[in-house]
Structure 1
Amino acid sequence: MSARIHYKNLGKSGLRVSMVGLGTWVTFGAQTSDETAEEILTLAYESGINFFDTAEVYAAGKAEIVLGNILQKKQWRRSSYIVSSKIYWGGKAETEKGLSRKHIIEGLKGSLERLQLEYVDIVFANKPDVHTPMEETVRAFTHVINQGWAMYWGTSRWSPTDIMEAYSVARQFNLIPPVAEQTEYHLFQREKVELQMPELYHKIGIGTVIWSPLASGILTGKYDDGIPIHSRAALKGYSWLKDKILSEEGRRQQGKLREVAEVADRIGCSLSQLAIAWCLKNENVNCVLLGASNVDQLYENIQAVQYISKLTPNIMHELDRLLGNKPKANRRDNVSR
């Protein structure tokens, strides 16, 4: 294979993650057959991807079941790959969601059962929980790590202020702080990753894992002429994405993408590959999670790593000009101390 996957430390931890990982949102247990899911995971692993991400909420637990079944079947060395899952929405009962000690422990045990694993490498808190004291949440994640059910914990979609609070609580009570934040980052959403995450990294060593580098498919260019029948925006439960694409802002974005596609043509790659390579160009990004509904799509997206070097300072400047959304740093500190 022509694409060469490199590895980075996850934040200031010693965990070495592949620069691209495989996410299972939308696809595993829902959009793809189990056979296709196995083909996708096999291609990922054989290409050098060592990071597989899922969540208790994905396809109501089916994504974890599908991933677990494939890992059991393939019998790859457990020490050769990383599995992360996310805890927050586990069920309909009031006690089956959130970041209470009860749900973190029960939710993670449920994930491990579905995954057929003794431990996950990283357990992420899938959003902040305003109903649970931060100390309780940090103590619970420290407990599951001490029990050997997870190696590390991280956050997902947390604000810098919440992440700093978790870190402060961990330091105050000699508990284990989070190692990484999972967050959305793409050509149309830049501020948090470009302004706030570098500061968090330098202050407390938090790494950055990116999801939705193609903005749920918007950055593939396939929505230029409307909503294709087999696209994600046409799926049941994704009307929010359809509305976003068909909105006035969505139309404006499609116009900008036509110009970005011309840049992609010039450097010899697809619009999707340019969008992924652009995310990987950011040195503060440790891993970009790729989603794929078939093997060809994943193969194309993995090839994006070849084009990182083609994104010269001049090309990056041109993209900034076309997009017109490069974040500007405030003079004041962006992150609460």
Structure 2
Amino acid sequence: MGLALLAALVVTAGASLTTGDFELSVGEAFQALIGNGSGSADFIVNTLRLPRLLTAMAVGAALAVSGAILQSLSRNPLGSPDIIGFTNGSATGALTVIVVLHGGMAQIAAGALIGGLATAVVVYLLAFTRGSQGFRLVVIGIGVSAILLAVNSYLITRASLQDALEAQTWLIGSLNSRTWDQATMMGVALAVLLPIAFRFGRRLSLLEMGDDTARALGVDAARTRLVLLAVSVGLAAAATAATGPIWFVALAAPQLARRLARSSGPGLLPAALMGAVLLAVSDFAVQRVFSPALLPVGTATGTVGGLYLIGLLVAEARKSRA
């Protein structure tokens, strides 16, 4: 399954780099990548298309791993950063920087991280005061998310027209005009957080069996959960800072990866590959299908993800009646 996802990622990357208003052959794109392309091909590939593609892949992978961790910790398929509220918390921090402080990219990233971590602390304290309560985590997270959504709306109403337009555009979630700044930031975030996620991720299957079982097998359940929760929030916050909130990738990618791999475990690496493929394909679709309109990728993931969420809720309802 991993090889199939890698192949899909390579095909999507090739199509993204070679098609568009200025079409290139595979050879021309490859020559541009290694620094031997013509001036126009080098600009199209290395300045316009490649940073956007790498940002899409990195953000998709980050959101998918974040969602896989939360779904495993909560033992609930609805446990993802956009449902639980971490994404809205990151958006609140970033909007505060945009609307109140008028900060740049670095400040927005810091605000998103602080907002996501603060939201995680609140949700964690409310949900885990008496041990592991996965269902409580989801319910409390949904409530906190609703409150933060109201705060975000309030911030936009208090902003100037220009700041409000910028904030509203950012809230949709978009890869338009993304540069090497965002790609580099996401690369650093993945380089720091993914090794921690993979190291502690081996214990997720044990945590899914319950804290008592995990402790009996030598796992410090509380410490492991806290570290993984911090990693999940960090990945979601970095992705939100880079592109704005992109909904439902974190919800759908881990579940799709599990089904394709036919695995009962969390499977962080397949989830990362699935997230990268989903977001890269979604961005390619909005660029090519709706061209010349510059639609944000959040419109595609929101539409598809909404349908997926409806199907997931129907399936869960059928299981509960069975």
TM-score by length of 2: 0.27
Give the structure with the larger strand fraction.
Answer: 1
TM-score by length of 1: 0.26
Give the structure with the larger helix fraction.
Answer: 2
